[in-house]
Every structure is written in C-alpha cells, then in structure tokens.
C-alpha cells in the first residue's frame, strides 16, 4: 500500500536558506535510515498473522495511524518534537517492511533481490535529485497529476486486496514506481527552488517517496525472479 503526504508550500526562499534546507534535508534523510533499519530488523522476526488474516482492516488502520502521525509532524515541524515524530514514523515504516522482507528472505535469492531493490532505489534517488538540482526547472506542474495517480493507486491497491489478481499487483507496483519517482522529482525540486522551507517536512516527503519506490521495486523483482522459496 503506497503512502504519501505531500506538503505543498508555494513560498520561495533566499538562496542561502534554500541551501541550508537542502543540507539539513539530506542529513536528516540519512539519519532516518537508522530507525528504518532497526525497525526492519525487528519486523523480520515478528509475527504478522493479524495482517495476513485481515489485510483490508490492517491497511486501513495503518493508513489512519500514518496520516495521524503525518499531521503531528506537520503541526510540530518547527520544533524538536517534529524530529522525534519523524524518527518514530520511519521506525514504524521500517517495522512494516517485515512482511515483504520475510517473503523475500525465504526465496533462494532473497538477499540479492533486497540488495537490487535498495540499489535501484538509490539509483532512482540519485537520478531524480540530479535532474531537479541541475536543471533548476520548476516541476510544480506535476503536483496535480501525481496526486491523481496516488489516489488511483490507493484505490487499485485496496481493490486488489479483494480480487488478488497477480497481474494487477505487478501493474500496480510498476505504476507506483513511476508515480513515486515523479513525486521524488517534484519534492526535491520544491526544496531546490525554495518552495519547501522546512527540512522536516522536506525529509518526510522525500523519505516516503524513497520508501514506496523500494517496497514496490522489491515486490516487482520478487514477482519476476521466478525463484522458488527455500
């Protein structure tokens, strides 16, 4: 299930402030990987039986909890509590990687697939960030199209919980990678051009883009690998 909570600020900022926000954003993005990895390591050893038995209810509860935390971060974006909530969110999202990592690690080449997904995600992050920084173009026009795509992805994901169509799952993952790659370009561009002046909110947006690209890329690689489970 994809998650995003884009926070659009149309104001612009001086160049020095933009650079400061960019530096703080990349530094905080690196820090968020620590609770994510800790949460993922814990999630690999957890029992997610309730989520397997009640996928729709679990997804809706997760969405409600995440959006509540996102609102808390937005309300505290100018103080240290915002950082604490941000790290808490990244820990919980790391924890929620447990089910897909468990499936991957039970495949004969699971560790390799996880590495490929991480490498592919890093390559997409580097590519989209470079485009946003070097081109200095205004990609704000993508916002409405991406939001429509996000809503359609969420609805399609919920529908596929009922119908369980493998081909649909692959299509959803492939489209999700494109949509969140677009969000990544959009969010980095906002920071570069001074449209986002708060590094906590910038980090949250970029982190969610990266997270969703990784999850969907891993799902796609597992489906296409054709390797049997151990």
84 in Cβ contact with 207 (< 8 Å): no
17 in Cβ contact with 194 (< 8 Å): yes
Helix/strand number for the chain, H first, E second: 9, 0
pLDDT(129) > 90 = yes
What CA–CA distances, in Å, run from 91 to 3, 32, 125, 230? Answer: 15, 8, 20, 28
pLDDT(7) > 70 = no
Q: What is the mean pLDDT of residues 139-160?
A: 87
Comparing CA positions, the residue from 147, 149, 112, 128 lying closest to residue 191 is: 128
Predicted TM-score (pTM) of this structure: 0.86
Q: What is the mean pLDDT of residues 70-79?
A: 93
What does the pLDDT read at residue 14?
66
What does the pLDDT read at residue 157?
83
Where do runs of H (alpha helix) occur along the chain?
15-44, 49-53, 55-75, 80-95, 98-105, 110-135, 142-163, 166-192, 199-225
Q: Angle at the Cα of 201 (from 63 to 154), degrees rounded to 5?
A: 30
Least confident segment among 86-90, 106-110, 203-207? 106-110
What does the pLDDT read at residue 6?
47
pLDDT(12) > 80 = no
Under the banding of pLDDT at 50, 70 and 90, the label for residue 8 is: very low
* pLDDT (tens digit per residue) in 39-54: 999 999 888 766 767 7
Cα-trace Rg, the chain = 17
SS3 230: coil
Distance CA 62, CA 50 (A): 13
* pLDDT (tens digit per residue) in 151-184: 999 888 888 777 777 788 889 999 999 999 999 9
């Amino acid at each position: 299930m994809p998650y995003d909570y884009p926070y659009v600020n149309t104001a612009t900022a001086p160049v020095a402030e933009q650079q400061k926000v960019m530096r703080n954003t990349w530094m905080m993005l690196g820090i968020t990987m620590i609770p994510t990895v800790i949460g993922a390591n814990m999630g690999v050893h957890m029992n997610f039986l309730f989520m397997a038995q009640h996928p729709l209810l679990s997804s809706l509860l997760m969405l409600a909890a995440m959006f509540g935390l996102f609102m808390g971060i937005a309300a505290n974006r100018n103080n240290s509590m915002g950082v604490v909530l941000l790290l808490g969110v990244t820990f919980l999202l790391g924890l929620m990687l447990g089910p897909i990592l468990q499936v991957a690690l039970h495949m004969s080449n699971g560790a390799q697939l996880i590495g490929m997904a991480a490498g592919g995600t890093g390559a997409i992050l580097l590519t989209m960030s470079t485009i946003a920084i070097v081109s200095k173009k205004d990609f704000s026009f993508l916002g409405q199209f991406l939001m429509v795509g996000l809503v359609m992805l969420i609805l399609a994901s919920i529908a596929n919980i009922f119908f369980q169509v493998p081909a649909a799952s692959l299509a959803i993952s492939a489209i999700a990678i494109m949509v969140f790659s677009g969000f990544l370009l959009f969010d980095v561009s906002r920071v570069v051009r001074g449209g986002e002046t708060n590094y906590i909110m910038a980090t949250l947006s970029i982190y969610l883009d990266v997270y969703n690209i990784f999850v969907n890329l891993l799902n796609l690689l597992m489906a296409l690998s054709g390797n049997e489970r151990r």
